[in-house]
Chains A and B, each alone.
Chain A
Amino acid sequence: MNQKATEPEDTKSVVIRITGDSGDGIQLVGAQTALTSALMGNDFSTFPDYPAEIRAPKGTTNGVSGFQIQIASDHVATPGDEVDVLVAFNPAALVSNLGQLKPQGTVVVDVDAFDARGLRTAKLESNPLEDGSLDDFHLVEAPITSQTRLAVKETGVSHKAATQSRNFFAIGILFWLYSRDPEPTLNYIRGKFDETIAKANEAALRAGWNFGETTEAFPRNFNLPATTVQPGIYRNITGNEALAYGLVTAAHLSGRELFYGAYPITPASSILHKVSQLSDCGARTFQAEDEIAAICAAIGASFGGAMGATGSSGPGIALKTEAIGYAVMLELPLLIINVQRGGPSTGLPTKVEQTDLFQAVMGRNGEAPLPVLAASGPGDCFDTVVEAWRLACKLMTPVMVLSDAYTANGAEPWCIPELSSLEPIDVQHPTSVPGSSPFQPYARNDFLARPWALPGTPGLTHRIGGIEKEDGSGNISYDPINHEKMVHLRAKKVEMAQQLYSSTTVFGESAGELLILSWGGTLGACREAAVKAQKAGRSVSHLHLRHLNPFPVELGNILRSFKTVVAAELNDGQLRQLLRAEFLIDVQGLNKVRGEPFLVRDITKCIEVHLSINNTSHRGAA
């Protein structure tokens, strides 16, 4: 028998995936692992993967909930392609997730769940622990349920409560395996649960730790040295939390109160929850009777001088469409957030896609352009919303902000910005009319923006609406020449956004063989793949776009500087089509529409394919 190593071995990164029933407390295990790792100075990226059903039948593959986390000693941008350690609470969880585990990876199963009943509910004909299907992996059979029950016996909790402490036993194993400090989780337990339950959970965690330490199944454990990052105060943040904080911060920077109107929808609802918790900061939320009322109330709020904002996901945005066009016509500042999910229709409510880009850029009747921005990750949601509101106020226009289910629920460490260091958003409201001339609600400034005259201002009474307006006076006008002029003015105004963007920088050489182009929540995978390729001496650059409408002014020249441009997106080629139409460049596509994020190796493979095509055609030319 091998002697167990006593000192943990240093390692650079680990990918852990915890899986079980959606009622097993899987997300809690993930969240505690993330928090502890953050406190220990590691970088991480998480991916909660859960079904739309709140409590699907126990033990079935339909109800499997998962949480993946990559913890690293270096900067990390994705939750990882391949899993090093898979924890499965039952047979269904094991078989649904085994495909993610890398060869020779460790799989920890709760053997107690692999009885005849467990196998039957998972619809398995043979026991995967015995039929050889785990031969390529390092299997650790842990009696999680029975050991937990034994460990918590002294606390006197019920049989059911004892079983529910299982997830803390799993935390114990993982924390021992990767030398995580148990104190933050123990503090959490003591603060969250009543005394008896807390004692049971603590006992379960300690029993799990001891199991890891004593079982021969783990030959050794590991240590993840801390990462070096920029100084500051950090916290964990999910994309939706960052959107909520960004909204309230943008309201603060522009000196107004936030009105956030929303209707419950996955995966955007948690923005509404978070903003509702910020009422002490002047934020007002409105859970409306439907998606349309949510945006219309936000438009009413903007008309009154507040920061009107609404958030939803694709199907809800579809319902808001008429009102978005209306806001384009009114030329009022407004934010519309779309946390994209799998579509069309109800689609895959909890899964990630980037299939609403066309909807964002073009999905309205009439010529109704508006600026569209996309957040590149959880923390970036904050900056994107602040920038979007800056544009909305400067240009007096609705602005669409795109996030996605992956970004919304994923968490990462976030350096909390110092409020005083953020540039204020300057907003002017006219207070009088020069001379005796009547007020011109559709007069325009250098940015072609009209004045935001607020009700309550004497002398500026005016009426606005969705009917075409006469240039300047804003009076109803059906004049054909005026209509075309107004269509062009609104379009030109939106183009002015280009002048407000910070410059676009390419990661890597500014010209070369291959440019990987990405937008939204796929930044991490694309950047990691580009870094790898560049380290291997390949001529690969990466450009990540935040501004999808209008595109940055220098984009055309950048694209023309590369032999091949590949737009990598979680749709069937929407950015690619927009780029082709705009620049007449034969942009290639890397597309995935499976409700899953990109893996780094998806991008790497694409890079290899395109570089080898280029090499072949070089030889052909020679």
Chain B
Amino acid sequence: MSVLQKPTDFTSDQEIRWCPGCGDFAILAQMKKLLPTLGIPPEDIVFVSGIGCSSRFPYYLETYGIHGIHGRAPALATGLARMRPDLQTWVVTGDGDGLSIGCSHLIHALRRNVNIKILLFNNQIYGLTKGQFSPTSPQGLVTGSTPKGTVHEPLNALSVALAGKATFVARSVDTNAKHLGEVLRRAALHRGSAFVEIYQNCHIYNDGAFDYAKNAKIKANHVVELNHGEPLIFGTEQDLAVGLNGPRLETIKQRGGEWADKPLIHDETNQDSSLAQMIAQMRHPEMPEAIGVFRAIKAPTHNDLMPDQSPTTKERAKRLKKQLTSGQTWTVA
């Protein structure tokens, strides 16, 4: 077993083919920073991906990797994790790969609580196929396939994950290095399916989609950071908060150092995911968008629940023979 300390030890010899300036670089950098801290040798880590810009991720890491077919990475990872629980398996997908062609696999991997870490790079566009609207594109987005703007209601990645009963659900932003690093670390340590949506800028086909959440000058007023046990407070002056008013979330404002209504206290361990759903659905510009860990609960994994047995070769031969001769048999002398 080799012990590694440096991010460069996880750098593969492959030339990176993302467009210079792509948000994917920032995510890759955080991953390279994280991996040496986990105490897992590189040979025990596998990155599985689908198709799309994000899915080139495995090539750039000196671990085992399998670049899949479009949308199927969670299925590939499910088989691998079932047979090789000794490995740490990551899935890298995008908004088209994970929420359109492969949405079903994503939901089913999550509901089974397969022990895999799924990162969904959301840039709200199909990049590799040169700019068509994706399932997360906002209505009205003008793209190659929607010259008059898309009319489809966008999917919310976290709502999908929560509907799939994911046991770990989080969101971060590509260039928010410290926050992303921490969210990835939490995901890595979670036992079961971890789902992380990462806002990622495609500066070629959908530049600035997440400016409100990335631009240092304005983001404080548009993003609220979730911390377990703490109130949902945000704003440059920390004078804004998210509160629960009847069945709705709303923005509340501090006046004279006092909160008129109580800010919501975040509980990531809540078994009931209803509040997490409401927080996930807060959308810019009406509401701040939440980043951080929405949900982190303990539950048995897929492998914990399956009736898998690993008999020794000798024992297996014995059992197989018994199975083959089960039921009615007769002997011909």
Using CB atoms and an 8 Å cutoff, list the residues of chain A in contact with chain B. 35, 38-39, 41, 184, 229-236, 245, 248-249, 252, 255, 257, 259, 261, 277-282, 284, 286, 288-290, 292-294, 296-306, 308, 322-323, 326, 330, 415-417, 419-420, 438, 455-467, 475-476
Whether A455 and B83, one on each chain, are in contact in the complex, defined by CB atoms closer than 8 angstroms, is: no
Verify if B247 is at the interface (C-beta below 8 Å from A): no
Verify if B82 is at the interface (C-beta below 8 Å from A): yes
Chain A residues with Cβ below 8 Å from B320 are 248-249, 252, 278, 281, 419
Q: Which of B75, B323, B329 contacts A293 (CB 8 A)?
A: B75
Verify if B80 is at the interface (C-beta below 8 Å from A): yes
Verify if B152 is at the interface (C-beta below 8 Å from A): no
Instruction: Known A39-B330, A300-B75; judge A322-B82 contact (CB<8 A).
Output: no
Interface centre among A301, A304, A460, A464 (most CB of B within 10 A): A304
Verify if B325 is at the interface (C-beta below 8 Å from A): yes
Task: Report the bound CA distance from A619 to B114 in whole Å.
Answer: 74
Verify if B59 is at the interface (C-beta below 8 Å from A): yes
Closest residue to A463 on the B side, CB-wise?
B65
Whether B67 and A463, one on each chain, are in contact in the complex, defined by CB atoms closer than 8 angstroms, is: yes
What's the nearest-Cβ distance from chain B to residue A374, in Å? 23
Whether A233 and B331, one on each chain, are in contact in the complex, defined by CB atoms closer than 8 angstroms, is: yes
- B64-78: CB near A (< 8 Å → 1, else 0) gives 111111001001111
Chain A residues with Cβ below 8 Å from B105 are 289, 292-293, 296
Whether B79 and A456, one on each chain, are in contact in the complex, defined by CB atoms closer than 8 angstroms, is: no
What's the nearest-Cβ distance from chain B to residue A440, in Å? 13
Task: Report the bound CA distance from A257 to B308 in whole Å.
Answer: 10
Instruction: Known A300-B75, A461-B63; judge A286-B327 contact (CB<8 A).
Output: no
Whether B69 and A466, one on each chain, are in contact in the complex, defined by CB atoms closer than 8 angstroms, is: yes
Verify if B129 is at the interface (C-beta below 8 Å from A): no
- B13-56: CB near A (< 8 Å → 1, else 0) gives 11000000000000000000000000001111011100000000
Number of interface residues of B (CB under 8 A): 61
Chain A residues with Cβ below 8 Å from B244 are none
Whether B83 and A305, one on each chain, are in contact in the complex, defined by CB atoms closer than 8 angstroms, is: yes
Q: Which of A257, A277, A462 contacts B65 (CB 8 A)?
A: A462
Known: A305-B84, A326-B68, A462-B65. 8 other contacts (CB 8 A): A293-B75, A293-B105, A296-B76, A299-B76, A326-B69, A416-B324, A456-B43, A463-B59
A and B contact pairs by CB, cutoff 8 A, 28 listed: A39-B328, A233-B329, A235-B329, A252-B316, A255-B313, A281-B311, A281-B320, A284-B82, A284-B308, A288-B75, A293-B72, A293-B104, A293-B105, A293-B108, A294-B75, A299-B79, A300-B80, A330-B66, A416-B325, A417-B324, A419-B317, A420-B317, A455-B87, A457-B43, A458-B2, A462-B64, A462-B65, A464-B65
Task: Report the bound CA distance from A419 to B14 in whole Å.
Answer: 47
Whether A306 and B83, one on each chain, are in contact in the complex, defined by CB atoms closer than 8 angstroms, is: yes
Q: Which of A230, A293, A458 contacts B332 (CB 8 A)?
A: A230
Chain A residues with Cβ below 8 Å from B307 are 279
Whether B79 and A308, one on each chain, are in contact in the complex, defined by CB atoms closer than 8 angstroms, is: yes
Chain B residues with Cβ below 8 Å from A417 are 324
Task: Report the bound CA distance from A35 to B327 in whole Å.
Answer: 11
Chain B residues with Cβ below 8 Å from A461 are 42-43, 62-64
What's the nearest-Cβ distance from chain B to residue A300, in Å? 3
Verify if B139 is at the interface (C-beta below 8 Å from A): no
Verify if B86 is at the interface (C-beta below 8 Å from A): yes
Instruction: Known A248-B320, A278-B323; judge A464-B67 contact (CB<8 A).
Output: yes
Chain A residues with Cβ below 8 Å from B310 are 257, 282
Whether B87 and A301, one on each chain, are in contact in the complex, defined by CB atoms closer than 8 angstroms, is: no
- Nearest 6 CB-CB pairs, A to B? A465-B67, A300-B79, A297-B79, A463-B65, A296-B75, A300-B80
Whether A234 and B306, one on each chain, are in contact in the complex, defined by CB atoms closer than 8 angstroms, is: no
Whether B79 and A460, one on each chain, are in contact in the complex, defined by CB atoms closer than 8 angstroms, is: no
Task: Report the bound CA distance from A302 to B76 in whole Å.
Answer: 10
Task: Report the bound CA distance from A278 to B64 in whole Å.
Answer: 31
Task: Report the bound CA distance from A69 to B316 in whole Å.
Answer: 35
Whether B331 and A234, one on each chain, are in contact in the complex, defined by CB atoms closer than 8 angstroms, is: yes
Instruction: Known A257-B83, A300-B66; judge A280-B43 contact (CB<8 A).
Output: no
What's the nearest-Cβ distance from chain B to residue A264, in Å? 15
Verify if B1 is at the interface (C-beta below 8 Å from A): yes
Whether A233 and B325, one on each chain, are in contact in the complex, defined by CB atoms closer than 8 angstroms, is: yes
Chain B residues 72 to 110 lying within 8 A of chain A, measured CB to CB, are 72, 75-84, 86-87, 104-105, 107-108
